[in-house]
Amino acid sequence: MDFSLTDEQKIMVDMLSTFSKNELLPNYNKADKEQKFPYEQWKKMAEIGMTGINIPEEYGGQDADSLTTGLVMEELSKGDFNCAGALLIEVLIVDVLKRCANDTIKSEWLPAVADGSKVLALVITEPGCGTDAGAIQCRAVKKGDKYILNGEKSSASLIMAADATVVFAKTDPKAGAKGITGFLVPMDLPGITRRAYEDLGMRGVVRGSVFLDDVEIPEEYIIGSEGGAFKELMQTFDFSRMLLGLMCLGAARITIEETIQYAKERNAFGQPISKFEGVAFPIAEHYSINEAMRRLAYYSLWLRDQGLPHGKEGSMCKWMCPQYSVRAIHDCLILHGHYGYTNEFPIEQRLRDVIGIEIGDGTPQAAKIVISRGLFGRGFF
């Protein structure tokens, strides 16, 4: 077993660690306060090649493997969880487009994502269903060489900043999950409106609803095959779940490290509070858990890079990493006393932000359904 990173990965991690500290962290609360997409930071991320991290070189990207992409997520989230979250969504959509879109779509959109000039969203969720994604109602009806889309999609991250969004719609309502098709929908088409949400956290990820009213999509804007969205597009979610896990672990890790420093500097009863077991032990526990989960996430990404099955592992990352990261950040907030509760420290925002990932891309229950199916076999769960 070899747990070491390659020289290129080590250089990337070092560079991003400095970038996160100097460029992202000082502005972390800006997008949160303004509830706006962090355009300035996004531009800087594009300049160092991050917005094209998993885009093939021929389209202007870096074509990084899964593990390297995970390391990028982990480092960026230490500086700005929203910037990492926005990148995660682009990585997910790029993976979908790479595998399932035709050359016209790829050459039109991938270079623009790589250079940071365009932002894409992806939406499956609707007002009536999220976990039960097969129950979506949004309709796409074929008319000549176009599809006419109607429906309401909800909870779309980045939708308020998006130039286009991948929409899941029913082309054959009688076929259940096998009647769902993915479309790339440019947001400037007639018949599209959007509504922004006011969220607890991840406010820079500008979530919202999108309403489709007789929106005409050319048939070449289908992603994958008609009726194939569940089978073809959703494979990418195994990947995004591991990346989300590492994002949460990165936010927890930097918070734990900040808390170690704080506990050495803050005195009570004539000594640094680090000398109290009540302070040191929770930090020791959270650091241990964080380290164990990082190994799980790296291993899961490694499985993907080897072309080995990784669905169960992705879901293990999805429920555990956000939940234990929330617990770690919460405990670190308490260890900062009343200061932790103010926005003078980034901890309260990290707590609000990371909670979003307990739900986004599937709840813990949804993840445990996937794991249970893997463990018991489909006939037994």
Q: Which residues bind ligand FAD (CB under 6 A)?
A: 122-125, 129-132, 155-157, 202, 207, 356, 359-363, 365-366
Min dist CB 361 to ligand FAD, Å, is 6
| Contacts by residues 174-181 (CB-CB < 8 Å, ≥ 24 positions apart) | 175/227, 176/134, 177/133, 177/134, 177/230, 178/227, 178/230, 178/231, 179/227, 180/133, 180/134, 180/136, 180/227, 180/229, 180/230, 181/140, 181/222, 181/224, 181/225, 181/226, 181/227, 181/228, 181/229
For ligand FAD, give the closer residue by CB, 280 or 369: 369
For ligand FAD, give the closer residue by CB, 18 or 131: 131
Q: How far is it, in rounded angstroms, from Cα 15 to Cα 12?
A: 5
Q: How far is it, in rounded angstroms, from Cα 83 to Cα 61?
A: 18
Give me the residue whose beta carbon is nearest to ligand FAD: 130
For ligand FAD, give the closer residue by CB, 60 or 364: 364
Is the Cβ–Cβ distance between 123 and 169 less than 8 Å? no
> In the numeric block, which tokens belong to residue 247?
């994002």
Is the Cβ–Cβ distance between 232 and 98 less than 8 Å? no
For ligand FAD, give the closer residue by CB, 282 or 322: 322
For ligand FAD, give the closer residue by CB, 151 or 282: 151
Min dist CB 165 to ligand FAD, Å, is 9
Query: Minimal CA–CA distance to 113: which of 95, 100, 136?
Result: 95
Min dist CB 179 to ligand FAD, Å, is 18
Min dist CB 364 to ligand FAD, Å, is 7
For ligand FAD, give the closer residue by CB, 237 or 298: 237
For ligand FAD, give the closer residue by CB, 130 or 228: 130
Min dist CB 144 to ligand FAD, Å, is 29
Min dist CB 356 to ligand FAD, Å, is 3
Min dist CB 233 to ligand FAD, Å, is 12
Min dist CB 148 to ligand FAD, Å, is 21
Parallel, antiparallel, or unpaired for β 180-186 and 222-223?
A: antiparallel
For ligand FAD, give the closer residue by CB, 23 or 361: 361
For ligand FAD, give the closer residue by CB, 12 or 233: 233
Is the Cβ–Cβ distance between 195 and 209 less than 8 Å? yes
> In the numeric block, which tokens belong to residue 142?
């074929």
Q: How far is it, in rounded angstroms, from Cα 341 to Cα 367?
A: 31
Min dist CB 285 to ligand FAD, Å, is 26
